[in-house]
Amino acid sequence: MVKRIPDEEQIKLGIRTLDFNIPEDHISRFVVDFIDEYYPLLGIKENKKKKGRDSFPVKEMLKLLIYAKIEHIDSMRFLADMVKYHDVYKFVGNGICPSERSLQRYREKYGKYYNELLKATLKKASDVDYTDFNEVSIDGTIKKAYNSKNKVITEKETEILTRYFEGGRVSQEELDKLHKPAREILENKKISNQEKLYLLDDIKTQFTLSGQKSVPVTDIEARWMKSKKGNSQISYNIQSAVDYDTKMICAINVVQAPTDHYQLPKIVDKAINNTNVIPRFVLADTIYLNEESLSYLADNQINGVIPDRKQSKEKIGRLNKNPYHKDHFKYFPEIDAFECPEGQIMYFFNKYTEKNDDLDKPDKIKRLYSNYGACKACNCRENCLSSTQTHRTITEYGGSLKKAMWEKMETEEYKEEYAKRSSVEGPFGILKEQFHIESEVVIGKTKTEERILLDAVAYNLIRLFNLEQEIKNDKEDIVDFCEKISVQEKLEVRATIF
């Protein structure tokens, strides 16, 4: 950019580059350098227009979108203003001035490359030896979907509307009983009846897939889920894998399942694909402890670190206060038996398989332990048994893999390893509190995942930048200390600082 600079003696013509006002250690420089270095790995082919103005360069647009996320800007209207007037955004975008509509279009069109950008951040961390991805923690959280909990349609209403638009017989009384969301579909004149039938057919599919009693109309792929406060809301389940050493996000997986039970294989697969490393340890909480997860870890020769319910409660000091609760029955793996609070041994006596309603999930294995004779002669029967019980039975779920996991989690080595699992909580908190993922206006499972991946890319770049600054600062601090001692003590300090 050319600008005239007034001077007391004469008028001088000065040349200033776009970065003249940007500090050398500013994060915007780090973002620009990162995209310049790793953009070729994305393999994006830009088609040039034969007519009209050329499209905005994708590389510069990605820089703007990522840097805007780092600054927690989600409004493309606000970003369009910033690229016109703010020096940092002019530098990041290399002087381009896209409109709000162009920014929105590029953000959606190139969403499929956000996971590749996430891979690039992980490659950068590996290239500079910040981590070897030995320990990966996984966890899930729910994100509220862009759909009011009142804007839902029932299966019966879907059937009535389908019959009506297909020309079938529908009474006026049935139409009058429709709730507001269903009536909006009925009275909407902006779309044809055929398009309404396509929408209703998609809603029917979601009823089949979800098994739930109602489907949201705005975002039909979202599901009813319970928040940590116990409230039901229309949400998506966000699975995340986080590296312990750098606290960087290794993978994001958006699913429709209301719980985390069977999500471990998918999120760990994504983490392995993104890092090109099979982790030595995968750390997860109790909800992931099942035969499917344990079989996956065993097949891939990964050390799982997953406590059972009792071990988890014991760690946080929340064992049941009732002394005769199952929490206070001690297990002895060497003889495969339990000891009750009164010191009696309860032996294994039966095992059977319980069919899982979901054909894609493995059957449940139940193991039963009891000691009828000891219970019959026990003086504490009234405290331990209900009025209908003749003896106490302990039921354990899972086979040999779960038993082996329990034994591992009783050792100090694995207890210390599990203490590192909390590293997965930090990124979730930052994405919710600083990146405001709950308020992002995005519809559909795929688009939701793409937007959160963009947040994850911005988060990872902040982590990389901070790690780089920490190393530089540590080195500068040591140099300053050495120089200070040298001057004060009048000594010649010889040191090599790496």
- 25-39: pLDDT as tens digits: 889 999 999 999 998
Same domain, 209 and 326: no
In a domain, 453, yes or no: no
pLDDT at 409 over 60: yes
Same domain, 268 and 384: yes
Out of 188, 217, 246, pick the residue that ends a domain.
Answer: 217
Cα–Cα distance measured from residue 486 to residue 481, given in angstroms and rounded to the nearest whole number: 9
**Residue among 392, 389, 394, 386 at smallest CA distance from 372:** 392
Q: What pLDDT was estimated at residue 382?
A: 86
Q: 287 and 259 in contact (C-beta within 8 Å)?
A: yes
Q: 348 and 336 in contact (C-beta within 8 Å)?
A: yes
Same domain, 431 and 398: yes
**Residue among 223, 292, 236 at smallest CA distance from 262:** 292
Residue in this structure with the two tokens 């989690």, named with its chain if needed? 409
Q: What pLDDT was estimated at residue 197?
A: 92
From edge to edge, which strands make up the β-sheet containing 345-354?
330-332, 337-339, 345-354, 364-370, 393-397
Q: What are phi and psi of 435, to 5 degrees?
A: -90, -10
CB proximity list for 180: less than 8 A, separation 6 or greater: 150, 151
Mean pLDDT over residues 270-274, rounded?
Answer: 95
Q: What pLDDT was estimated at residue 314?
A: 81
In a domain, 474, yes or no: no
Higher pLDDT, 481 or 303: 303
**Residue among 361, 454, 422, 437 at smallest CA distance from 142:** 437
Q: Which amino acid is at 447?
A: K
pLDDT at 226 over 60: yes
Q: What pLDDT was estimated at residue 317?
A: 80
Same domain, 140 and 163: no
By residue range, what is the domain housing residue 462? 134-146+233-441+458-468
pLDDT at 395 over 60: yes
In a domain, 57, yes or no: yes
Same domain, 22 and 170: no
Same domain, 160 and 68: no
pTM of structure? 0.84
**Residue among 148, 165, 124, 226 at smallest CA distance from 465:** 124
In a domain, 119, yes or no: no
Same domain, 163 and 307: no
Same domain, 284 and 385: yes
DSSP conformation class of 363: P
Q: Which amino acid is at 486?
A: S
Same domain, 178 and 206: yes
Q: Average per-residue pLDDT in the chain?
A: 86
In a domain, 96, yes or no: yes
Residue 256 CA, chain-centre distance (Å), reads: 13
pLDDT in tens, 188-214: 888 898 999 999 999 999 988 888 889
In a domain, 28, yes or no: yes
Cα–Cα distance measured from residue 425 to residue 140, given in angstroms and rounded to the nearest whole number: 9
SS (H, E, C) 295-357: HHHHHCCCEEECCCHHHHHHHCCCCCCCCCCHHHCEEECCCCEEECCCCCEEEEEEEEEECCC
CB proximity list for 466: less than 8 A, separation 6 or greater: none
pLDDT at 145 over 80: yes
β-bridge mates for residue 239, sequence order = 140, 253
46: tokens are: 């830009």
Same domain, 266 and 401: yes
pLDDT at 69 over 90: yes
Higher pLDDT, 389 or 118: 118
SS (H, E, C) 440-496: CCCCCHHHHHHHHHHHHHHHHHHHHHHHHHHHHHHHHHHHHHHHHHHHHHCCCCCCC
pLDDT at 476 over 70: no
Q: By three-state DSSP, how is residue 138 classified? A: strand
Query: Predicted confidence band at 49 (pLDDT cuts at 50, 70, 90)?
Result: low
CB proximity list for 345: less than 8 A, separation 6 or greater: 335, 337, 338, 339, 371, 374
Q: By three-state DSSP, how is residue 6 classified? A: coil
By CB atoms closer than 10 A (0-12, 13-18, 19+), residue 17 is: exposed
- Pairing status of strand 223-226 against strand 214-216: unpaired
Q: Total structural domains in the chain?
A: 3
Mean pLDDT over residues 55-68, rounded?
Answer: 92
pLDDT at 324 over 50: yes
Mean pLDDT over residues 158-176, rounded?
Answer: 89
Cα–Cα distance measured from residue 304 to residue 409, given in angstroms and rounded to the nearest whole number: 10
Same domain, 259 and 394: yes
CB proximity list for 284: less than 8 A, separation 6 or greater: 137, 138, 139, 264, 293, 304, 305, 306, 421
In a domain, 170, yes or no: yes
Q: What percent of the chain has pLDDT over 90?
A: 43
Query: Predicted confidence band at 236 (pLDDT cuts at 50, 70, 90)?
Result: very high
Residue in this structure with the two tokens 């406060």, named with its chain if needed? 229
pLDDT at 495 over 60: no
Q: What pLDDT was estimated at residue 10?
A: 54
In a domain, 17, yes or no: yes
Q: What pLDDT was estimated at residue 11?
A: 55
Cα–Cα distance measured from residue 124 to residue 147, given in angstroms and rounded to the nearest whole number: 37
Query: Predicted confidence band at 297 (pLDDT cuts at 50, 70, 90)?
Result: very high
pLDDT in tens, 342-356: 898 988 888 888 777
Same domain, 191 and 50: no
